[in-house]
Amino acid sequence: MSAAGAAPVLVVDDDKTTCDVISSVLAGQGYRTACAGNGREALAYLRSTSRPPRLILLDLMMPEMTGWEFRKVQQNDPALAGIPVAIITGLPDMEEKAAAIGAVDVLYKPSRVETLTAVVSRFCGKE
């Protein structure tokens, strides 16, 4: 399946540069991405798309709706709860807190390209 037809990776981060860099890196690896600037935008996207992402890369510290708040809503919505979430953060030592909210992995900003693509490929693979 081509990248155009593949389910996207949803990047949720209020830093547009972070979204752009991640999208560019993943596009270079053959993945499609969608971006949201906060949890509310992410929920609106998830509830309106016909192709839900196979992975959400979620920042925790955002305005309007934080990653923590987004995750609570996502986990309580049967249509969205099964989408895996990896945390992207600049905060140190987040493994325990990420595991507590059911995240599958933690990527620290700035993340190495190899680390990012390894996490994405675990859930999205190459189709």
Considering the chain, what is the average pLDDT of its residues?
91
pLDDT (0 to 100) of residue 83: 97
Reading the block at residue 52, the tokens are: 């839900």
The pLDDT assigned to 2 comes to: 44
Based on the structure, what is the number of domains in the chain?
A: 1
Q: And the tokens for 38?
A: 């906060």
DSSP string, 6-30: SPPEEEE-S-HHHHHHHHHHHHHTT
What pLDDT score was predicted for residue 111? 83
**Would you say residue 3 has pLDDT above 70?**
no
- pTM value? 0.92
Query: What is the span of the domain harbouring residue 9?
Result: 3-124
Whichever domain contains 21, its CATH number is 3.40.50.2300
